[in-house]
Structure 1
């Protein structure tokens, strides 16, 4: 499995007990959705190695798991800090205007006036807001702050994201002669 085809589910905090159980941190919006996992990929070096789950007990954002392959404390402690991954196909379907960051890559950004601003090339996570890195038709990179309240409409079929953009923000990038 290629890491680019996966998302990070969380990581292994530490061994739990002497029988090879592990404590996990599930860094996802709804950890309870993962109560019935059958397997995960554990990152070991640059490889993702499949581990089959004997049982998992999810409590809030943490979980206790027993892997079929891990039989004792010594084996368990070798996995401390390892990242956990699942295939992108295992992501729950977002509802309404919710989206995953990887999903909006290459979406067209449309302003509140209906004007196409450009294509999303990257998304930067910056504290409480996202920064959309948008490239216009002339190749100019435009950085647009984004919060949920700015979203007008997300059209998955058309691959468009309609958002409210502050007046004059795009001009800062597209009209450099206006600089002082």
Structure 2
């Protein structure tokens, strides 16, 4: 399976207990959609590797996972920081006009008809998710908010923004 056909469900944050279990932080508004998983894909050395689940339990945005292949604390510790993926076919259905944040990566960011740059990443900060935009060779961080994101056109591959006055200046005036 290719990375382009998958989405990042979360990341392994740490071990849990002493028998090889790990804690996974789930990056989803509705983690309950992923309560019945049999396997996940782990990004190891830039390759997606399937891992079958012996146990998976959700508690809010955290899950405890026990992989068939991981039986020791040492093996589990090596997985800390590893990104967890699922095939896009596991995503819930969306209504017209809705989108997943990961669909924004690679789209052009546009303000007042002018292309600012390309959305390179979605960053998860405690207070806000943020668009990272490659703008004139610099990374511009823009909060994801209905006040700022005015339109998303996946077919045209563009996101129309209305930035707060002075936000671009903070990044580009140097």
The TM-score with structure 1 as length reference comes to 0.64
Match of 1:79, SS state, is: helix
Give the structure with higher Rg (CA). Answer: 1
Structure 2: 5+ residue stretches without partners: none
State how far apart, in whole Å, the 2-side matches of 1:84 and 1:122 are: 17
Match of 2:57, SS state, is: strand
Structure 1: 5+ residue stretches without partners: 135-139
- State the aligned residue count: 162
State how far apart, in whole Å, the 1-side matches of 2:11 and 2:168 are: 37
- Cα shift at 1:151: 1.0
User: Aligned in 2, Cα 1:94/1:120: closer, same or farther, shift over 3 Å?
Assistant: farther
Alignment pair present for 1:10 and 2:11: yes
What residue is the counterpart of 1:27 in the other structure?
Answer: 26
8 Å contact from structure 1 (residues 107, 160) kept in 2: yes
State how far apart, in whole Å, the 2-side matches of 1:68 and 1:97 are: 36
Query: In angstroms, what is the RMSD of aligned CA positions?
Result: 3.8
1:100-130 per-position Cα deviation (integer Å, ceiling 9, x unaligned) = 24x223323332x4x1324415247384443
- Cα shift at 1:8: 5.3
What residue is the counterpart of 2:105 in the other structure?
Answer: 105
State how far apart, in whole Å, the 1-side matches of 2:26 and 2:152 are: 25
1:50-107 per-position Cα deviation (integer Å, ceiling 9, x unaligned) = 221233221123323343345xxxx231122512522452444566455324x22332
Alignment pair present for 1:153 and 2:151: yes
8 Å contact from structure 2 (residues 117, 133) kept in 1: no
